[in-house]
Amino acid sequence: MRLVTLRVPGHDLTVAARLESDTTAVTYPGFPDVGALLQSDSWQEGERVSFSHDQLAPVIPSPSKIICVGLNYAKHIEEMGHERPDVPTLFIKFPEALIGPYDDAEIPDFNADTLDFEGELAVVVGKYTRHVRETDAHAHIAGYAVINDYTQRHIQKRTKQWHQGKSLEKTAGFGPWLDTEWQPGPTLTTTVNGEVMQQAPTDDLVFSPAKLIEFISHLYPLNPGDVIATGTPAGVGHARDPKRYLADGDTVRVEIDGLGAIENTTRILRRQHAMLTSAFPPSEYLYEPESDESDIAMMLCHGWSAAEITAHYEDEENVDALSLLDDIRAEYARRIPSPSEDATKLEAFSDALADRGLSFSFDEGWTKAEAADEGADRATREGRRGYAYCTTQDVDGLIHTGKLYFGFASLDAPNTDADDAVGQEVVDALRDVGFAPEWEGTRTARITCSGLVFELALSD
């Protein structure tokens, strides 16, 4: 039997159903999803309905736990440079990460580098499970589904705890259904834009589903509808040479023979912006110097999120940071209501550098040295041969001059000729997109563009 969670057209509702064909199912009235269905012993079938693929929601939209297993295929353990574990490596994914089997994975542009795929077999728990032995574990499995443990590698690798790079909102395709009869063994295949990236039998696990249930249930109870993502085989983009990270428009398909397939396209979401010009620095002409308004405006223009700003002021009882934030954003929007032409050119410039094998970072770091370090880190993560970085302030001060300053370097350091060559490529790319750069032609001289209208993100 195959169970699905269907979106109800025209309503913000879902309903659990039993699949009859690729486009028809029989509903279970009173059960909004398969997770709710598994918590009941009494199912009453309702009407037969037709559906389209975009109506398929995550098969369990809101499990109480999503437990992911790292390092569970021998070849993947080897490619990631780890030792074979004696016990399962566990981390948690939150339900907000789940999307339907054919939904787009929507990534804000500030999280959009080093995106990776991990096709996996998902185990769905069928009943309350506590202190269960491996030999009895099969009776606690409701069935199996397909999941993509979508990952942002840079965020994942920043600490020894993987969770933060593994639970990005609206990224992890899950479905297309729960199959109550299928058993592990058939092949899992992951493709990106039709190219095979991963392929392995689903029973070639260091820790089997039964062993995982035994191990986890001795740590904490499992509830009906809880999900265990059993790990990914070799072939992830991060471990390839060159690395194969996901970009806007890339489609990942994860298929397990006899169990079905999920297919999700990555969409990079651009943030809303306010524009700053040489005649309109972020705060000097709007607010009293060293006022709360001036400070918050400066924080915004250096990429602080609303959450970070309010946290900064949480001990200040006399400052309503959220209200000030709304007022400042409204003032920026009133003065500069539409994106600038130069801001659009900067995006084209970033693409032009990528075509040349160079990375680009914008206004990252408080000092020239920090900006250069961020640029080098980004180039290394993206597998580029060099980089350019751009700052909107002069050298190491907070002096907004109305110019953009571009630094650059080759990763083939120390190499003066290579650095100079990268500098010339940056100048060429700027000219190609319509800027008029100025450069003295040496690696120690930064490139400048004068009188620009430039754009900075006001992130949520």
Nearest-CA neighbor of 436 among 450, 424, 454, 417?
A: 450
**Tokens matching residue 344:** 């659009």
* Predicted TM-score (pTM) of this structure: 0.65
Residue 392 near residue 366, CB atoms below 8 Å? no
Q: What's the CA angle centered on 454, arms 449 and 457, to 5 degrees?
A: 140
Task: Kindly tell me if the per-residue pLDDT of 302 is higher than 70.
Answer: no
CATH number, span 66-269 = 3.90.850.10
* Mean pLDDT computed over 407-435: 86
| pLDDT at residue 290, as a whole number | 75
pLDDT over threshold 80, residue 252: yes
pLDDT of 17 strictly over 70:
yes
pLDDT at res. 453? 46
Q: Which tops the pLDDT comparison, 215 or 75? A: 215
Residue that wins the pLDDT comparison between 171 and 306:
171
Peptide bond into 63 cis (omega under 30): no
Question: pLDDT value at position 454?
Answer: 43
Least confident of 200-214, 300-314, 409-423: 300-314
Instruction: Tell me: pLDDT of 14 over 60.
Output: yes
Tell me the C-alpha distance between 383 and 254, whole Å. Answer: 25
User: pLDDT tens digit string along 317-362?
Assistant: 888 888 888 787 777 666 655 555 666 777 788 889 999 999 988 7
Distance CA 109, CA 439 (A): 30
CA–CA separation, 355 vs 142, rounded Å? 48
- Residue-wise pLDDT for 393-407, tens only, equals 543 333 344 567 788
Residue 455: beta bridge partners? 275
CA contacts within 13 A on the Cβ side of 327:
11
C-alpha radius of gyration, the chain, whole number = 26
Indicate if the pLDDT at residue 275 is higher than 50: no
